[in-house]
Amino acid sequence: MSMCVVGSINADLTVNVERHPTPGETLLGSGGGITAGGKGANQAVAAAKLGTPVVMVGATGNDANADPATAILREAGVDMRHVEEVEDVTGLAVITVAANGENTVLVVPGANALVGAEFVDRHADAVETAELVLLQGEIPADGFARAVELARGRVVVNLAPVVDVPRKSLLAADPLMANEHEAGLILEQLGLDGAGTPEELARRLLDAGFASVVLTLGSAGALVATAEELTHIDSPKVEAVDTVGAGDSFAGAFCHRILEGDSMADAAAFASRVGAFSVTRPGAQPSYPSVGDELPEL
């Protein structure tokens, strides 16, 4: 069963530091290499490496970063026929990784800013024929909304970063996937209280009209919420090396298992193991497991 990701493609510039700098401070770091990234591309690669047929709808620039940004997408077998090269720079993420594995990310949208409604319309067949359409927050709101309108299959939304998108389009998510911070911002976007425990946030999102919600809680696992029940999902205990892209690996793995017929709770349990695998290796896409890799146990 096929999956279409309408989203961002970035080149990741990663710098390793002992700790994150304070405002006005200069620190020496290491690294500086370009690797493949972008939330859309990351999630596409995560699913494709696990065996799901994935079509990518997105854009790269006509600069030197386009090839490294798409290299792992191609290696993973993602269908790239709906990725356009445009007259702009390829999206760029500048990532700082501290010794404890925590990261900060600055994103320059570049070509991703052109993936609007007209762009998505040019690739309508890829969206309409997919069994599942996965969206994030790194493309324009009108492109996001148009992809939802065109989708005939299941729509999964990981609204990261949290941007202002049409309420109707957002509520089409089944599930809405977010971390605790993002869940609070989404609730505030809907005019609701964004404070509370994960359980309170999840219930409030359900009350707002979402069919289902998956909250990722980092090393604490995840929370799957439906009208019937809240299910806590544990995460394997691992030593984190780099948390960049861990949430994206969870999203891609979750969709992979949903398309294989898993319940949401089972899909989230599998995705939690994939996320734990990814943080034990540096980088985003290079850290994702392939079919046959041994995942950490819960």
Q: Is 38 annotated as a binding residue?
A: yes
Tell whether residue 257 is among the known ligand binding residues.
Answer: no
Q: Which token pair is 268?
A: 């989230």
Q: Is 248 a catalytic residue?
A: yes
Of the candidates 174, 207, 248, 266, the residue annotated as catalytic is: 248
Q: Which of 262, 291, 257, 266 is CA-nearest to residue 277?
A: 291
Instruction: Consult the annotation and say whether 40 binds a ligand.
Output: yes
52 labeled part of a ligand binding site? no
Give the DSSP letter string of 33-83: EEEEE-HHHHHHHHHHHTT--EEEEEEE-SSTTHHHHHHHHHHTT-EEEEE
List, in sequence order, every beta strand (DSSP E) within the chain: 3-6, 10-16, 30-37, 54-60, 79-85, 91-97, 103-108, 132-135, 154-158, 176-179, 212-216, 222-226, 230-233
CA separation (Å) from 58 to 65, 140, 210, 251, 283? 15, 11, 26, 18, 21
Helices and strands in the chain, H and E counts = 10, 13
Check the annotation: does 33 bind a ligand: no
Tell me whether residue 12 is annotated as binding. Answer: yes
3-state secondary structure of 205: helix
272 marked as binding residue: no
Tell me: is residue 283 an annotated ligand-binding position. Answer: yes
Whether residue 248 is annotated as binding a ligand: the answer is: yes
On whether 200 is known to bind a ligand per the annotation, the reply is: no
Helix (H) or strand (E) holding 148: helix 141-150
| DSSP conformational letter for 90 | P
Q: Determine whether the annotation assigns residue 11 to a binding site.
A: yes
Q: Is 143 within any annotated ligand binding site?
A: no
Structure tokens that stand for 115 in this block: 């993936």
Residue 281 marked as a ligand binder: yes
Binding-site entries for K(+): 242, 244, 278, 281, 283, 287
Binding-site entries for ATP: 179, 216-221, 247-248
Residues with a catalytic annotation lie at 248
Binding-site entries: 10-12, 38-42, 138, 179, 216-221, 242, 244, 247-248, 278, 281, 283, 287
Binding-site entries for substrate: 10-12, 38-42, 138, 248
